[in-house]
Amino acid sequence: MAAIWSEQAKYEAWLEVELAVCRSLTKSGLIPKEAMKLIADRAKFDVARIEEIEAEVQHDVIAFLTCLGESIGPEARYLHRGMTSSDVLDTALALQLKRSGELLVQDLWQVKETLGSLAVQYKDTAMIGRTHGVHAEPITFGLKLARWYAEVLRQQERLHAALDQIAYGKLSGAVGTFAHLDPNLEEDVCRSLHLKYEPVSSQIVSRDRHAHWVSTLALIGASLEKFALEIRHLHRTEVGEVLEGFGAKQKGSSAMPHKRNPILCERLCGMARILRSYSSCALENVALWHERDISHSSNERMILPDSAQLLHYMLRTFDKILKNLEVRPEAMAANLGATRGAVYSEAILLKLSDKGLSRDTAYRIVQKNALKAQQDASEFQALLLKDKGILKHLSPEEIAACFDLEKALNRVDDIFKRVGLA
């Protein structure tokens, strides 16, 4: 990813575009074949030389073309024929964005595969589900991972759509009118570069495409933050159900030798914030003056490569986190019993409702016992078996059946099938 966004790669992409235009002009007879051969053979650039020229002329594309002219000779007059700077910049940028997107597609696919494998592995590992941070009802750790897996599937669709939308070039001249170029040339050049052409452009490719791209990367980053934040919560000392990996020689604190901190997950949460800020900036770039100004140009030199490299790092880091997770089923089982069975309260509520009690009456009876179990360190089931108001409607066997963990989780297989997990 770093190589795709290097200065060397940027100018190589510019050269790709310029040579593709020359080849198309050669097909049309506007450049002699002999000249095209010399251009292709001689066209070379040196980044340091381009920067030296740019320091004088204060224009990057002119500096690039001047540097090329030094290596090509008189035939360099055929370069950039009928083009404006943005024809080169935006078309070459599309090449870089497409190449970086293809790497991100691979990274996201790997995260999906790792998540899917872990979800199946822990499909039946029971744990407590939480809402508002408070114990709710039993789930499995695999189900939690399957939910993330389903979210990654959606992010794959979004990334493919954004990649399709960003892979557009333009070669329509200064204000998009093709005053000095043929639209057929644009189509031919973009096709040769494996890009699509902007149907109606101004001096630039419209920045809604780039805003879509950066926003999609930010949205994927938000999912990674969501997953990382959950691991951080489960990693907490008083929970201890899932821990981020910890190397044999790793140290967690300069002062406290006992510390084992979820630093990689915290790092991802911080990076997701940067991605979101870039998304906001990309949205600001959509509205430009008339056919173009360059207020977008300066920030895009940061937000586009940074977004790609940040997400590239985040995806690979999260895959590493997943592969090194320490899952503690015994802690999950212990926490599942922390409310002394009160998490089965809904099953009792429904059973009483089925017996004809109003929902409000049944709720109050069950709530009284569920809260008492937690406050007095009593077993919820034992309290129910002593409650005459409940025993008038439910037998001890019917009460016991409501505490069946396996029954509470018997639909997990069906959920897994919905997302194609075995």
The domain that holds 211 is classified in CATH as 1.20.200.10
pTM: 0.94
Q: Both 72 and 155 in a single domain? A: no
The confidence band for 85, taking pLDDT boundaries of 50, 70 and 90, is: very high
CA distance 52 to 132: 59
Residue type, 92: A
Q: Both 176 and 226 in a single domain? A: yes
Q: Is residue 408 part of a domain?
A: no
Q: Which of 81, 113, 140 is the last residue of a domain?
A: 81
Mean local confidence (pLDDT), 393-413: 96
Name the domain count of the chain: 3
**Per-residue pLDDT, 253:** 79
309 CB-near residues (< 8 Å, 6+ apart): 1, 2, 5
Mean local confidence (pLDDT), 120-134: 97
Verify whether residue 206 is a known catalytic residue: no
Q: Both 151 and 276 in a single domain? A: yes
- Write down the catalytic residue from 132, 254, 290, 298: 132
Q: Is residue 131 part of a domain?
A: yes
Q: Both 266 and 151 in a single domain? A: yes
Q: What is the DSSP string of 69-118?
A: HHHH-GGGGGTTTT--HHHHHHHHHHHHHHHHHHHHHHHHHHHHHHHHHH
Q: Both 164 and 43 in a single domain? A: no
Query: What CATH number corresponds to the domain at position 55?
Result: 1.10.275.10
Q: Both 139 and 106 in a single domain? A: yes
Q: Both 77 and 91 in a single domain? A: no
- Write down the catalytic residue from 6, 28, 253, 280: 253
Query: What CATH number corresponds to the domain at position 375?
Result: 1.10.40.30
Q: Both 140 and 156 in a single domain? A: yes
Q: Is residue 409 part of a domain?
A: no
Q: Is residue 161 part of a domain?
A: yes
Q: Both 317 and 384 in a single domain? A: no
Interval 205-231: pLDDT, tens: 999 999 999 999 999 999 999 999 999
3-state class of 127 per DSSP? strand
Q: Is residue 412 part of a domain?
A: no
Q: Which of 309, 335, 361 is the last residue of a domain?
A: 335
Verify whether residue 253 is a known catalytic residue: yes
Interval 334-367: pLDDT, tens: 999 999 999 999 999 999 999 999 999 999 999 9
Q: What is the mean pLDDT of the chain?
A: 96
State the residue range of the domain holding 31.
7-81
Q: Is residue 323 part of a domain?
A: yes
SS3 content of the chain, % helix, strand, coil (to 5): 65, 5, 30
Q: Both 328 and 391 in a single domain? A: no
- Confidence check: pLDDT of 203 > 90: yes
Q: Is residue 278 part of a domain?
A: yes
Mean local confidence (pLDDT), 123-127: 97
Q: Is residue 388 part of a domain?
A: yes
The confidence band for 252, taking pLDDT boundaries of 50, 70 and 90, is: confident
**Per-residue pLDDT, 250:** 83
Taking a C-beta distance cutoff of 8 angstroms, is the pair 307, 314 a contact? no
Q: Both 295 and 160 in a single domain? A: yes
Interval 308-334: pLDDT, tens: 999 999 999 999 999 999 999 999 999
Q: Both 24 and 96 in a single domain? A: no
Q: Which residues on neighbouring strands pair with residue 326, listed in sequence order?
A: 243
Q: Which of 81, 111, 127 is the last residue of a domain?
A: 81
**Per-residue pLDDT, 78:** 96
